[in-house]
Structure 1
Amino acid sequence: MMSKQGILTVVSGFSGAGKGTLMKALLNRYDYGLSISATTRVPRVGEEDGLEYFFLTRERFESMIEQGELIEWAEYVGNYYGTPKKYVEEQLAAGKDVILEIEVQGAFHIREQFPDALLLFITPPNAIELRNRLVHRGTESMDKIEKRLNRASEEAVFMKQYDYIVVNDDLDECVEHLNEIIKSEHSRTLRNDSFIEKMSNELNVFKKGD
């Protein structure tokens, strides 16, 4: 039997690409573990502590940094974002595929600690659609939206360093595409060294018997 070690999937993307909606739809349809990030930003309408994020004070977040309780952390548009370590490690060891929804900076920190992590970048089909989604979200001023678009321009440079680019145009199609990518990763040779070695050893027994 091939390895049942969980795969750590890192999902990043431009602000406004629909990552949150996509993750909710994926988790409603398939059995993945979603690592909830910690942040110091103010909750948006409808967001609850412990569901979308752990909403922390700057003091508490900085304490977690000092105690080494975060896999990664970064400051983005004036707020801290980070990934608590314990949950991720426990779920992977139990064979659960874990998804992290984090910023570009954090994604590459994850890759340093988990070289086998799968990195996916979510994007809308074009820049005009990205701007429209940010505007129609109705949660921020135009000044803040312009800052997010400037940030997106900077992040675009790093898209080539991700394993897959996933265009979020049709939600249902995007959910299925994400699931197919993650499931297919379990069959990658680099994730099945033990199985390959076992099969080779068993075949060598037949060879010696000839």
Structure 2
Amino acid sequence: MTTGPQGTRRGLAVILSSPSGAGKSTLAQRLMAWDPSLSFSVSATTRSPRPGEQDGVHYYFRSREEFGAMVMDGEMLEHAEVFGNHYGSPRAPVEAALSAGRDVLFDIDWQGGQQVRNSSLGRDVVSIFILPPSIAELERRLRARGQDDDEVIAGRMLKSEDEISHWAEYDYVLVNDDVDSAEERLRTILTGERLRRDRQPWLSDFTRGLSREFKERGLP
């Protein structure tokens, strides 16, 4: 577990979700640059590796049979099929990190977030939804990427309406109108969540020690 000035704590599972183009991937990268102790949840997938991708670094590349077996054996915190390929978050590396006191960052959609919150790790979850300042700005950002044609962008915009409708399921909701401001608010959320009383298991022993000091001083 992570050791602070006065004790230890269990790690957090930090979920970031947003419609495509709202900026969650950029904010995730900035958050990890701010705190290198954050680890990123590496997903498993059935798709083939792209040039330069390494197993265990970018993804855990698994066959459909292997992926299916992991799901059946309860080894996935969440999983979904996207454009004919399966994606999911392996449970074991996340549980190991949290037990060691390392916070784990998830860049997943609302469905994946829902599955992680409903898993055995639900008590460790801090969920944050990122909203765009407007739908017009969301479309502008998607077009500014220069990665997709008009048909793909139209599909992403259509999907965004459904994704945004799930904002109230999250612990925190941020409007990413300015990336620097949004990053600062993310840092504040993470700092505050790390300091919550119920995330500080050392406090019980610490306060008992304070009580003993009172008795040793002969105070009632």
The bucket for the TM-score relative to the shorter chain is 0.7 to 0.9
Cα deviation for residue 139 of structure 1 reads 2.1
Q: What is the CA–CA distance in structure 2 between the aligned matches of 1:68 and 1:62, rounded to whole Å?
A: 10
Q: Which of residues 112, 122, 130 is equivalent to 1:115?
A: 122
Cα deviation for residue 129 of structure 1 reads 0.9
Q: Which of residues 87, 102, 105 is equivalent to 1:99?
A: 105
Instruction: Give the aligned partner of residue 137 of structure 1.
Output: 145
Q: Is 1:68–2:74 an aligned residue pair? A: yes
Letter in 2 for 1:75: E
Q: Is the 8 A contact 2:9 2:200 kept in 1?
A: no
In structure 2, runs of 5+ residues without a counterpart are 1-5
Q: What is the CA–CA distance in structure 2 between the aligned matches of 1:47 and 1:139, rounded to whole Å?
A: 19
Letter in 2 for 1:65: V
Q: 1:146 to 1:163 in 2, by over 3 A?
A: same
Q: Deviations over 1:115-135 (max 9, x none)?
A: 221001112211111111122
Q: What is the CA–CA distance in structure 2 between the aligned matches of 1:132 and 1:147, rounded to whole Å?
A: 14
Q: Which TM-score applies when normalising by structure 1?
A: 0.84
Q: What is the CA–CA distance in structure 2 between the aligned matches of 1:136 and 1:54, rounded to whole Å?
A: 30
Q: 1:130 to 1:163 in 2, by over 3 A?
A: same
Cα deviation for residue 136 of structure 1 reads 2.1
Instruction: Give the aligned partner of residue 13 of structure 2.
Output: 8
Q: What is the CA–CA distance in structure 1 between the aligned matches of 2:47 and 2:26, rounded to whole Å?
A: 18
Instruction: Give the aligned partner of residue 176 of structure 1.
Output: 184
Instruction: Give the aligned partner of residue 197 of structure 2.
Output: 189
Q: 1:193 to 1:30 in 2, by over 3 A?
A: closer
Q: What is the CA–CA distance in structure 1 between the aligned matches of 2:171 and 2:159, rounded to whole Å?
A: 21
Cα deviation for residue 192 of structure 1 reads 3.1
Q: What is the CA–CA distance in structure 2 between the aligned matches of 1:167 and 1:51, rounded to whole Å?
A: 30
Q: What is the CA–CA distance in structure 1 between the aligned matches of 2:61 and 2:18, rounded to whole Å?
A: 21
Cα deviation for residue 209 of structure 1 reads 5.2
Cα deviation for residue 193 of structure 1 reads 5.4
Instruction: Give the aligned partner of residue 34 of structure 1.
Output: 40
Q: What is the CA–CA distance in structure 2 between the aligned matches of 1:131 and 1:57, rounded to whole Å?
A: 35
Work out which of the two has the higher radius of gyration on C-alpha atoms and give 1 or 2: 2
Instruction: Give the aligned partner of residue 166 of structure 2.
Output: 158
Letter in 1 for 2:143: V
Superposition CA RMSD, Å: 2.6
Q: Which of residues 176, 191, 208 is equivalent to 1:201?
A: 208
In structure 1, runs of 5+ residues without a counterpart are none
Q: What is the CA–CA distance in structure 1 between the aligned matches of 2:201 and 2:9, rounded to whole Å?
A: 12
> What SS does the aligned partner of 1:9 have?
strand
Q: What is the CA–CA distance in structure 2 between the aligned matches of 1:146 and 1:47, rounded to whole Å?
A: 30
Cα deviation for residue 27 of structure 1 reads 1.4
Q: Which TM-score applies when normalising by structure 2?
A: 0.80
